[in-house]
A and B are shown apart, each in its own frame.
Chain A
Amino acid sequence: MTSGENTAARKLPGSLETNRRLDRWLRVNRDGTVTVFPGKVEIGQGILTVLVQIVAEELDLALERVRLAPADTSRSPNEGITSGSRSIQESGMALRYAAAEVRDLLMQRAAVKLGVSLEQLTAADGVIAARGGGSLTYGELADDDLLAREATAEVAPKAAAQHAVVGTAVPRLDIPAKVAGVPSYVQDLELPGMLHGRIVRPPGYSGRLTALDAAEVQAMPGVVAVVRDGNFIAVVAGREEQAIRAQRRLARISQWEEQSALPENSDPRYLLDCVAIAEVISEKTGETAASGAISELEAEYTRPHIAHASIGPSCAVAQFTDGQYTVWTHSQGIFPLRGDLAKVLGVDEKSITVIHAEGAGCYGHNGADDVALDAVLLARAVPGRPVRVQWMREDEFAWEPYGSAMVVRMRAALGADGRIASWSHDVWSHGHSTRPGGKGGVNLLAGWHLAQPLRPAAPGNPPLPAGGSHRNAIPLYDFPQQHVTNHLVSEAPLRVSALRSLGAHVNVFAIESFMDELAIAAGADPVEFRLRHMKDARARAVIEAVAAKAGWKPREQGDGMRGRGIGFSRYKNLGCYVAVITEVEVENEVRVRRAWAAIDAGQAINPDGIVNQTEGGITQTISWTLKERIDFDRQRVTTRTWQDYPILTFAEAPEIEVTLINRPDQPPLGAGEGAQGPTGAAIANAIFNALGVRMRDMPFTRDRLVAAMI
């Protein structure tokens, strides 16, 4: 056994550091298959296929022989939350080293059993053969003892040049079942004797229940229970449509008292009047070569609150039997969720098992965790019976935590040499993370409505360098003087949390729009102007690659209707590099016709997966940027349906070409969130290129466009 002090003290790769036992990650089965236990979860980004590729590669095993176990708090490694495009770095690297070590253990055991030296052995598809004859399968070699030890990470994984499976576009393992309509999601889970629950939320955040006579609902067909606990009211019924009917009736007859506490309108500039904590996050006071600024520019950019708006409303199934809770959920963090559930229920974490089952794409922290608590509360009311709760579309729009509204103010001076002499960036926003597991409170919706309410933990930001509202606020460009300030508005009138790319969408939109404004002021081509200020070779490479792919012509001009623009960022300043060019056509409204992107995400484990994520990121961001805004009055969120919240349609979707710059010798960087920032700016820049009109307030709706043109 190898668990000496040296091993324990050494830092291990990825999540192996915090989950050191090999059998936490992998199990070699008697039939020669290998089961992988990832702590990260599938959210439509294709991560599980990538993890299977990594394991198959290191173990010299066919992909078909690798099995995946669902993440489960009773068995899986605790990998926190699946977010921030970190799954490959954390789970992937842990599994890469764990699998390499398991292969080494199998080889050593084979050498002993076959009575030969290690050099005489080769492994292929789960069979270890000796040169002089004789072979054993992994299934024959392994027993429970073999992996019951701590990882050392001392067995070097394969070098990139040896990779046969990693680096290839292995088709996603889950797609055949999904296109065949096979049950694939927690929404499809069916347990014997399962009941259906629905929640009646307050009409708005401030709602307090003043009167409810539940008798008539209790008497409705199929109703098994009406649950009331403070301002939390819900129904449980035998059939789904019965639960929905009871929910509607209950909503109609319940009476609530409300406050007028929301901002006057959805203009994000209310943030500027709020109490904020200002923190200077980057300061450079170098010499400028220019003898004096030729021009100074200022601009303000904004985005309102926007929604995750998952296509499948949040859902969970829970059961309470003999004092034990089991919940099936599409949460991105089963362990933090278990912790917060335990606080609400006032029980030990050990009495709760949280099992992951896929949901629809979530793009960050949506209602997934909240509905898990809803299901658990209802299961507690009907012991022994599983209860499935799915939010209605209206619940999802009204109660999910939104991506925060943001305001960014930029100021810069341009020198006579055509270079930026000084740069300042001020960002106002609420915190971008209120996930479960926060300190000093409970971040589960129903917990706040109970008769004994729990307080939410304060919204916070992940710290720099990744950052939250300040994610990507520090420019990657090289300026002699710069000043970047984060103004964090803690008190949030609307519920907010992590939405794909966090603050990067707006910060990069501001930086890259402003770079365009400065390039124009300098009389420079926007592509060349960016390169002029960029030293990072990989950044330059994606900018040059996208310009080449799109056939960008220096100083190209739009024709009054069509135009093109560029945007760039390195996600979190430490993740993937992405540059995007969009072509827009503006008639009554803005339409993105085509988009080109170049992405460098380091080593590409599954190139098509990166391309798919980038295409999706661009398309979703076009929707955010052109169309989306959460609306509210002084009391309530008024956005409730897809009619209130239109998203990009098939008629409006652009053609997209993605150029992947693969760097097999570099660490993989994650690719799920790199396109958001560059795309927003590329659209604004393309509109200017087409019409000479600068759009600075998202969304770029028809009304805004008309207003900007006159």
Chain B
Amino acid sequence: MALTITVNGTPREITADAETPLLYVLRNDLQLKGARFGCGAGQCGSCMVIVDGKAVQSCDVPVSAVAGKSVITIENLGSVERPHPLQQAFIDEQAAQCGYCVSGIIMTAKALLDVNPEPGEHEIRAALAQNLCRCGTHARILRAIRRAAEKMRAAT
């Protein structure tokens, strides 16, 4: 069936079954490959996007459920040339090994910092409860999020 969803501020028309997980629509119909398949079961956070301001696992949401809502993906934050402060902080801290988990983690962090610009250590860790990293990059990722929060506060 034909559906219209708003992704990164632009209405997009797609043809897919209503129950298709949002993840596959983003990746395969809209060619937004930054959200990635990790488990398909809401257990790892590789597929994280922001829906109406909340971090959401896109593998676990049928595309029909986001009609009329705003979906933001990692591609909307910044680019290689003009990284978002969160992306820049991940570069500055070299906070990746394989990097497969990282775009999902940045989206979780973005949703957190949007509502809580000054999160404590415990709040950052708690916000990441839905994200896994297998390479063990945790310490650097936490540093990067702290750094981004500071930079973003200083800029406002």
Contacts and interface: CB of A to CB of B under 8 A. Distances in A.
9 contacts: A44-B97, A179-B99, A188-B33, A244-B40, A612-B94, A623-B136, A641-B43, A642-B44, A648-B136
Contacts of B28: 190, 239-240
Contacts, number: 188
B38 interface: yes
Contacts of B101: 311, 360
A653 B131 CA distance: 13
B38 A311 contact: yes
Interface residues of A, number: 61
A620 B98 contact: no
Contacts of B129: 649-651
Interface in B1-43: 16-17, 20-21, 24, 27-28, 31-41, 43
A176 B74 contact: no
Q: Which 4 pairs across A and B sit closest by C-beta, in order of nearness?
A: A181-B34, A44-B98, A619-B136, A653-B138
Contacts of A704: none
A620 B135 CA distance: 7
A654 B139 CA distance: 7
Contact of B33 (A183, A310, A392, A650): A183
Contact of A655 (B41, B80, B139): B139
A44 B135 contact: yes
Given A311-B100, A641-B43, A649 B132 contact: yes
B17 to A, nearest CB: 7
B20 to A, nearest CB: 5
A180 B138 contact: no
Given A179-B90, A311-B134, A612-B140, 19 more contacts: A44-B100, A171-B91, A175-B90, A176-B91, A179-B96, A180-B80, A182-B33, A221-B17, A310-B134, A311-B44, A313-B39, A360-B134, A613-B97, A615-B136, A615-B139, A650-B129, A651-B128, A653-B138, A653-B142
Nearest to A397: B39
B40 A392 contact: yes
**Chain A interface secondary structure, helix, strand, loop or mixed?**
loop
B142 A175 contact: no
Contacts of A182: 33-34, 80
A685 to B, nearest CB: 20
B124 to A, nearest CB: 8
Contact of A313 (B37, B124, B139): B37
A372 interface: no
Interface string B127-156: 011011111111111100000000000000
Contacts of A580: none
B87 interface: yes
A42 B39 CA distance: 23
B126 A641 contact: no
A239 B19 CA distance: 13
B80 A239 contact: no
A655 to B, nearest CB: 6
Nearest to A396: B39
Which of B28, B73, B139 has most chain A Cβ within 10 Å? B139
A358 B96 CA distance: 14
A347 B96 CA distance: 40
